[in-house]
Amino acid sequence: MKNIFVLLLSFTSVICAAQSRSVIELEKGWKFHKGDAATAEAIGFDDSGWQTVTVPHDWAIYGPFDKEIDKQTVAITQNGEKIPTEKTGRTGALPFTGTGWYRNTFDIKDFAADKKAILLFEGAMSEPQVYLNGAKIGEWAYGYAYFYFDISDKLLEGQNTLAVQLSNEEFSSRWYPGAGLYRPVSIVIKNAESIDQWGTTITTPVATAEVAQVTIKTKFTGENLRLMTTLYDAEGNKIAQNATTQSILNQFEQHIKVEKPHLWSPENPYLYTAVSRLYAGDELKDEVTTTFGIRSIHYSAENGFQLNGKTRKFKGVCLHHDLGPIGTAVNKAALRRQMQILKDLGCDAIRSAHNMPSFEQLELADEMGFMFLAESFDEWKKPKVENGYNRFFDDYAKRDVENLVRATRNHPAIVMWSAGNEVPDQYGSAGVKRARWLQELFHKEDPTRPVTVGMDQVKATMESGFGAILDVPGLNYRVHLYEEAYEKFPQGFILGSETASTVSSRGIYKFPVVKASMKEYPDFQSSSYDLEYCSWSNLPEDDFILQDDKPWVIGEFVWTGFDYLGEPTPYDTSWPSRSSYFGMVDLAGIPKDRYYLYRSRWNTQDETLHILPHWNWEGREGQKTPVFAYTSYDRAELFVNGKSQGIQIKNDSTPQTRYRLMWNDVIYEPGTLKVVALDENNKPVAEEEVKTAGKPHALKLEADRTNLKADGKDLAFVTVSVVDKNGIPCPTATNQLNFNVTGAGSFRAACNGDATSLELFHKPTMQLFSGKLVVLVQSSEKQGTIKLQVSGRGLKAESIKLNTSL
């Protein structure tokens, strides 16, 4: 297969005339009950005592945290373990196991025999059994899959009742999977003569700055129909139109020329719109609006990865699907905040780890400019966990891949598919056959993008041929095997599909400052000097060197962009510890020091000058306290209370000195720590200061945004910190704070980023961690003002106002 993939991509959202198509979002009116099937049957589906919830919903995020929930004795083979040990917190220590029931009663108007109805689930965790008006209409298995049922013969005009049973087995995940209807549920009502579900595919065999050939394939149901497609630019101007009555096997194919197209890229995420109208004679039968972007992708040994004809390397991060304190219940405002933080980092790519991404995340990636590696599975036929996807692979893998590709192949963001992550099937001929079968399935559904697998057993894949058959060989860690893999694999390039796994806790610094693997401390934290990593992984600089020095390395996806619930390595045998330490950004969405190390390389538009550690070290007077600077400048001078500690210049003597400026012999004394960045002539160009703080005195509140939509689900993230009487941040403050929200909104959650905290996210009180935490405020459906007041013992209460509008 040639390594050339050229595509114009789109995502589809239905915005149609009422007479041709309507979409009913089943958000409100849900009743929820946690209990097994026997309990549900015993109460005869009398839901009067059930909890009222909105969907998306994650029943487990409300806790409590309990080590007994996910305690297991296991050797994690992916981590190189040989001897089983007791693990806790591996899936977040949250109550996701068991059975839950959801029930929704809704009215349908004007539904007749000539109409068609589709019931769409964008994610249901997990093994959903679906009932409509007392009859079972279908089931699915994979909690991350998108799926739908044709309910045309079951839907009634008037009142209908939808019930969904979800069951989460213990030992079914390696991280916190969430629980419930955590992504949207909707009903699509259209004419029987209509465009099929996920039936529009837009590609371009030509996509250059001069011209694009837009090819639109539209699958439909009906006879003697006509399709009219109109293209609009981002300003809403009509730029082209095409009509056809010629179809083959119920598929129209249209070719439309676009002159001087704006090419989609992370730097210019320009989006067009296509409106497809299906007619029977002059009668409009269906209408679908598709927003799309034009771009080309190309992978080759000669040029690596090219976007729109230009070679570039992925500056990517891996992201799990949970959103910290709100769990897995998808929320577009929370996703947007995540991606804005990543945008400032200079990140240009995201890998959905290790599951199918939400539609909302892909829409934002298109809009904000992130290339996307869309992953499918963490398991194939051979298990990693007892009750994982291995149980479903034979019956569901084909359908799950088909639905993944058909639902999302039109996103310009997606530039690569992943068929799996660290699957045990990397060993042996059976695994090679599965890899080929899956890759061919992706190719059949989408011949325009390559397929990868995140491989950790690199030696085995060299011997078996597993790595050789992939379009893109992805290496998870194993930096010492890159050269050998490049020589043995035929593709001529290597992708760092998962890199680093460096661990740190925001604002926590340990002494002495040394490199360490699987280092543990009595407080179950990891040092933010960014020199600690895992047994299978490495420090960031090992990957930086490969990216910078090897043209055949086409980029990296760092593990991880944000901390996530579960997998508290290196403390998965310790309690309490219930979330990861891998993130550049903590669970609350507050950047750690390591964020700025990557920013100094990735963000080429803005300067970076970040100094660590904090300078509150009572008891360390007279002791060595190393100071690091993460900066886009190559040299700087450090001062302690005005006394120079010398100039440091980046150099190649060690991997760390190549990318960090380090003063390892600084003697601590309270006062002011200042770093001055210098140009090549040693002239000052920027500076940063850190001062020793006094006792906590006042609160400081900063919102990521102050204007919210009055839609009942928009969120503002308010960072709360403590300062002394002079306004200096108190980096070690641990005050207990209380939150009160009044007006046109409500308190949603709080998070401090501490992986060891057992405080519940949804309670309006929380302890500061390293002087900070974040409060989430949710809008109501009323216009007006929201007031958040934060208070704490011995501190002056502080408030902030937010506005809501329609």
- Catalytic residue numbers read 422, 498
Which class for 696: exposed (0-12), middle (13-18), buried (19 or more C-beta within 10 A)?
buried
**Hey, which residues does 87 pair with through a beta bridge?**
72
CB 305 within 8 A of CB 555: yes
Strand locations in 324-450 (E): 349-352, 371-375, 414-421
Q: What is the residue type of 294?
A: I
DSSP string, 484-528: HHHHHSSSS-EEEEEEE-B---TT---SS---EES---TTS---T
Q: Checking DSSP bridges between strand 147-150 and strand 85-87, what pairing results, if any?
A: unpaired
How far CA 507 is from CA of 592, 613, 716, in Å, comes to: 7, 7, 24
CA-based nearest residue to 30, from 106, 138, 109: 106
Q: For residue 504, how far is the Cα from the chain centroid?
A: 20
- Which sign does the torsion angle of CA 647, 652, 655, 659 carry? positive
Read off the tokens for 578.
């219930």
Read off the tokens for 519.
């280092």
Q: What is the residue type of 425?
A: D
Residue count of the chain, please give it: 806
Long-range CB pairs of 794-801, under 8 A, 24+ apart, other chains included: 794/696, 794/735, 795/696, 795/697, 795/698, 795/699, 795/722, 795/735, 795/737, 796/697, 796/698, 796/699, 797/699, 798/698, 798/699, 798/700, 798/701, 799/701, 800/701, 800/703, 800/706, 800/718, 801/706
Return the H-helix or E-strand segment holding 339.
helix 332-345
Beta-carbon contacts of residue 397 (< 8 Å; ≥ 6 apart): 377, 380, 438
